[in-house]
Amino acid sequence: MLQHKNILLGVSGGIAAYKAAALASRLTQHGAKVKVVMTREAKEFVTPLTFQALTRERVYDDTFAEKEPEKVAHIDVADWADMIVIAPATANVIGKAAHGIADDMLTTIYLAATCPVYLAPAMNVNMYSHPAVQENMRHLEKRGCRFIEPGEGYLACGWIGKGRMAEPEEIVSFLDAQEPHPSHLKGKKMIVTAGPTYEYADPVRVFTNPSSGKMGFALAEEAAALGADVTLIAGPCQLETPPHVKRVDVTSAQDMYEAALEWFEDADIVIKAAAVSDYRPATRDASKTKKQDGDVVISMERTPDILAELGRRKKNQLLIGFAAESDRVVEYARGKLERKNLDMVVANDISAENAGFRTDTNEVILLTNEEPPRPLACMSKHETAKAILTHTESLLKGRS
């Protein structure tokens, strides 16, 4: 998937710069067109001539070396690139990127670029774990940059630990996996619901559940990366809106019901990953209920069943629900599949370790009407989202 891609390789000043030469060679062998930009410190480890010989391209190392008067070099190169790969990414260049400092060719190109940016950190283990470096990395991740995890082992400084730049082959494999492969989701209008709902008994007391929204947000992010037009209907949760996703914030089950119906008519796919409250207080006090002696009984009423209503209204939409169960998981999930007119149910055992609410991993079972249950291994919620979307694509292909 890297063939014919324009890749700008940024090399900063660390001993791992020697690996960047092998990386430039690997990328070129995979059919990519590679241009290299070096910091002043990088040239203390490897010469520009090395990269020029490997890529057959001019090496950029000076912001003010404008060799083509009709172009502004750092803007021209930023526009040319399909992706930027900074390897090695030192603590210094990570910090500059995080804070918008543009004092050399690499950082000015970074600020001018609109393409995906990948960084392969390389530094001493203590530097890598320093709170300042970790905070800078989090800042960049929030802006859409992706990090290629460093390895653990013997470092050039003599320490042993995490901080060794990923090997060139690993970086190439990582980049290849990030490139969008042809997807049946491209251009499809998708609704994803995520997070909990709040059902207020009075202005300060609510009935809710522990859902963090991580699974739904991961689905929205991965679907958007595949080219889907995603609307994320999110209950109260503290998560950043994924790139290229339209977010609609709601509070109660009634709010989510109304939002889902509003967007449903034009949708091609609906994935309802939200953990919606099944019951709400029958009445809501306008002021805070005062503490009193004895027990309190709160009368509860059913909230609207969003998934059942969407199943009733379904025309050509692909409708996918989640079933969070603590026992007889497959049995209850299959009942939901049939009862609510769904195309697929994603079932998970919320009592299982590393699955369900507030975890970063999940372990689910995919159920459809045509196939036997398909269990997935425990993996990150983003990897789980990718697997769910892959199966969603197969359902779309089956329809076509």
CA torsion sign, 373 to 342 to 222 to 228? positive
Contacts of 125 (CB under 8 A, 6+ apart): 155, 159, 160, 161, 162, 163
Question: Is 16 within 8 Å of 88 (Cβ atoms)?
Answer: yes
Marked catalytic residue, from 115, 157, 237, 378: 157
How many of the other CB atoms lie within 10 Å of CB of 205?
A: 15
- 55-63: long-range contacts, CB 8 A cutoff, minimum separation 24: 55/24, 55/28, 57/33, 59/35, 60/35, 60/36, 60/105, 60/109, 61/37, 61/105, 62/105, 63/104, 63/105, 63/108
Contacts of 88 (CB under 8 A, 6+ apart): 11, 12, 14, 16, 17, 19, 20, 120, 121, 122, 123, 165
Q: Which of 355, 296, 300, 354 is nearest to 323 (CA)?
A: 355
Contacts of 29 (CB under 8 A, 6+ apart): none
- H helix and E strand count, the chain: 13, 22
The residue behind tokens 């914030």 is 249
Q: Does residue 378 carry a catalytic annotation?
A: no
Structure token digits, residue 169: 């082959």
Q: Alpha carbon 53 to chain centroid distance?
A: 37
Question: Is 350 within 8 Å of 333 (Cβ atoms)?
Answer: no
How many of the other CB atoms lie within 10 Å of CB of 287?
A: 8
Q: Alpha carbon 275 to chain centroid distance?
A: 20
DSSP codes, 151-173 = EEEE-TTS-EEEEEPPPHHHHHH
In angstroms, what CA-CA distances link 390 with 268, 377, 386? 16, 15, 6
Task: Report which residue type is found at 264.
Answer: F
Catalytic residue IDs: 157
